[in-house]
Structure 1
Amino acid sequence: METALAELHSQFDIDGYIEALPRHVLGLPRSNAPPRYQVSRFPLLKPYNGFTGIERRRGGHLAGWLLAAGCIRLASKCNICGSSGPLSLHGDVYYDISRDPTLCQPCHRAIHLRFYRWDEWRKVVDASAVTGREWFAQIPPHSIDIAQHLRDRWGWHAADLERSPICPFPDAIAEVLPNNMLPHPNL
C-alpha cells in the first residue's frame, strides 16, 4: 500500500500544481495596518498537504493580516465556480500565502471533503473546468505533501513565512509585519 501511495505522489507534478494556482499581487499596506496578528481561540487544525496545524495557523495569521492591511484582496468571484460569495481564502500552500485561491463556501467545503466524497468533488470540477489544466482540476484523490516538497527544496527556511524565500515580501510589507506570530518549532 505504501509503495502504491509513493508512486501516486511521484506522478503528481507539485511544481506544476503550485504554478497553476492563482496568484495575488501584493500591494502596499494601508497606514492603519493592524499592529498584531489576530490570535485564534480555536484549536489547531489537522495537518493538510503536509503542513502541520501550527504551520496552518501561522499561514492563517499572515493571510488575515495581509487582507486586513490591504496587501492582498479577495477575488470578486470564486476561483472555481465563479460564484460571488460569500468568499474566503483557501490555504493550499501555507508557505506562500500569495497562492491562496479565493473560494465560495460550497467549493471550499467540497475541496476539503474530496478525500471522502471524490465523486462529488469531480462533479464540481467537471461543472467548472474549461481546459482541464486549471489548478483545481489537477487535484488528485490522495493527499499531496506540498510542505515536504518545499522543505526539500528550501529547507526549513520555507516555513519562515515572514522572511519567505518562496514569496519574499517587499520592504514596505516586511517592515510593518507584527511580531506576535505563533512560534514555529523548527525555526
Structure 2
Amino acid sequence: MRQAAWTHHQVHQRVHGVMTAAMRADAHAIEAALGREDRLDPYSRRFAVEARRLVLACTAALTCVMATHRPGDDSRGREICRGCGTPDCRTLQGVSDVLAAYAVRPVAVDRAEAWRRADAHFAAGGRPVPLVVEEFPEGFLVRRALDGGDDVSPVLVVDRETGALSRWPSMPFDILVREYGHYRKGK
C-alpha cells in the first residue's frame, strides 16, 4: 500500500473504531450509572452524559476531513492526497499522530457485534431469522440457520477490522476463508 493510501487507511480505521465504540455505548445506561448521587461536579457529570454525542460529532467531522484528504493520482500517475495535492498529506498525518498519541486503536468487531450486524441485514425490517455465526481470523461468516435455498449469495461475511458486510455464494468454509483473504488483499 502506498504512503497516502496507508495513512488514509490508518486514520479511517481509528476514526471508525472510535465511532463504533460510541455507537455501541448506551447514553441512557451511562446516565443511569451516574445515578442521582452528586459524586461528580456538574461539569464532569454533563460531560459524561454528553460524551457519546460529542464523540459521534467529532468522528463525523473527521470523516468529512478524510473524504477531502483521500489518496489519488496526479496527472503523471504518482500518488498524492486529493485534498492538498502533495505526496504526504500533512493533515491526515497530523490526525494520525494525535490519535496515536492518545492511544486510539481500531475496535475489532466481536462475535456479538457480527451477529447484530448480520441480524439487521438478514431481517431487513422484517422478522428476525435464526443465524449461524462462524469465526475466522479476518472476520465472521454468517448464514441463516434455515436457508430457503433461493438466495444466490446466502452467506454474509462481517469483516473483523471494519465491520463491513459482503455477500458470498455458498461454498465450503475453508475455501470461503481463503477467497475472502484474497478479496481483502485486492487480488
TM-score bin, normalised by smaller chain: under 0.3
Give 1 or 2: higher strand fraction: 2
User: TM-score, normalised on structure 2?
Assistant: 0.22
User: RCO higher in 1 or 2 (8 Å CA, sep ≥ 6)?
Assistant: 1
Higher percent of residues as helix? 2
